[in-house]
Amino acid sequence: MERFDGTFTQQEPIPEAGIEAALEVMRSGRLHRYNTVPGEVGEVALLEEDFAAITGARYCLAVASGGYAMTTAMRACGVKPGDPVLTNAFTLAPVPGAIASLGAVPVFVEVTEDMVIDLDDLAAKAGRAKVLLLSHMRGHICDMDRLMALCDAAGITVIEDCAHTMGASWNGVPSGRYGAVGCYSTQTYKHINSGEGGLIVSDDEVLMARMILLSGSYMLYARHKAAPPPEVFEGLRLETPNISGRMDNLRAAILRPQLALLEGQAQRWNARYKVMEDGLRGVPGLGLPHRPEKEGYVASSFQFLLTDWAEDDVRAFVERCAARGVELKWFGAPEPAGFTSRYDHWRYAAAEPMPQTDRILAGLIDMRLPLTFSEEDCALIARILREEVLATNSGKEAAE
């Protein structure tokens, strides 16, 4: 029996150019973004310019984390304690956590078999909130044209959680550019890696001025480059609290060379994804999400569905794969494990019954696709998964 012996959490090293730039910052001692000498533009301000250019956004702000980016975006959009905020039932814990941190209340929307937000359920719930925190969970992008038409008609402000879609697009428009605000993470397991970190883009000058002030700019906002002009800050600077969450020059220095490589990395991820997809297509009992033509994805992870399998069969399958070195995350497990948890585990946020999401998550299997895996590794993983699904199927038949 074949076994896989790679590590699902091993990232590639920081590019040498990033290491060099980080050493430069450390030698200067000027790690704080506003600690610049006259005429100098710090690494954080440069990163913001770079990312604004890549996404085509007018403005960009770098912050301490993806979670901080989402909280700041919601604050800037006026979310107050007690306010309902629409969001995906299938997402990662920092998304409802960001809503809860404002004292606001998540209103969960069902997921589809393609692992995106269910737009029919969203339409049914549209009257209940003024803000949607849309999570492109695991890089799956819904029909953004339909979503925006729906939200525009209902007067809903859309904030995009692009933690898994940096570099991705819908219909040629970069992910994060449909909503009023796009939020990204530069945490180690995302598409560019500074340990922790976040980026925010927006074309709205008032929202961006508020977010810059919220992030802890003091009265130094004129040192930003990808920012609205100082007069936009005039009416806001004394009434906007400083809720410290800046990025520092060291992280920005590590990130800038990675941004330049993002497109090539996306192709490498997608090549791995395709090997997995090809290896698993047509396996009875295993469902793959349909990826629409308009979706320009960056597949840094892989998901499939074991819909309507008995819970014990899924558990046994996950265990057998683990014994062969393939580490899977199961969204149907009764208890949260590692990074994986489910809406009904988030006890601080009461949820309504979500029958469709329950059925899908019960069979949803997820795995990372780090670039330290070769395409041959992915072919081997797919063979192991295929064999173990087929073994479960024949076990079921024998029992019938």
Judged by the rule CB under 6 A, the positions of this chain that interact with ligand PLP are 65-67, 91-92, 94-95, 135, 137, 161, 163-164, 185, 187, 198
Nearer to ligand PLP, 166 or 382 (CB): 166
Residue number, 309 or 330, with CB nearest to ligand PLP: 330
Where do we find the tokens 């499939």? Answer: 304
| Contact present, 317 and 299 (Cβ < 8 Å) | no
CB of 335 to ligand PLP, least distance (A): 20
Q: Is 96 helix (H, G, I), strand (E, B) or coil?
A: helix
By beta-carbon proximity to ligand PLP, the closer residue of 135 and 217 is 135
Of 336, 344, 209, 190, the C-alpha closest to 265 is: 190
How far is 245 from 254, CA to CA, in rounded Å?
18
Residue 196 near residue 65, CB atoms below 8 Å: yes
Tokens 């929202």 -> residue: 207
Closer of 205 and 366 to ligand PLP (Cβ): 366
Integer Cα distance of 54 and 56 in angstroms:
6
| Residue 98 CB, nearest approach to ligand PLP (Å) | 8
Residue pair 120/98 in contact (Cβ under 8 Å)? The answer is no
Closer residue to ligand PLP in complex, CB, 55/187: 187
Cα–chain-centroid distance for residue 291?
A: 17
1, amino acid identity: M
Report which of 79, 107, 77 is spatially closest to residue 346, judged by C-alpha positions: 107
CB of 258 to ligand PLP, least distance (A): 15
Min CB(365)–ligand PLP separation in Å: 17
Minimum distance from CB of 338 to ligand PLP (Å)?
A: 12
- Cβ closer to ligand PLP: 36 or 55? 55
Q: Which strands form 295-296's sheet, in the order they lie side by side? A: 173-174, 169-170, 295-296
Cβ closest to ligand PLP, residue 98 vs residue 385: 98
**Residue 359 Cβ, how far from ligand PLP at the closest point, in Å?**
21
Q: Are strands 59-63 and 198-202 parallel, antiparallel or unpaired?
A: antiparallel
Within 10 Å of residue 29's Cβ, how many Cβ atoms?
8
What beta strand segments (E) does 89-154 contain? 105-109, 131-135
Between 185 and 215, name the residue whose CB sits nearer to ligand PLP.
Answer: 185
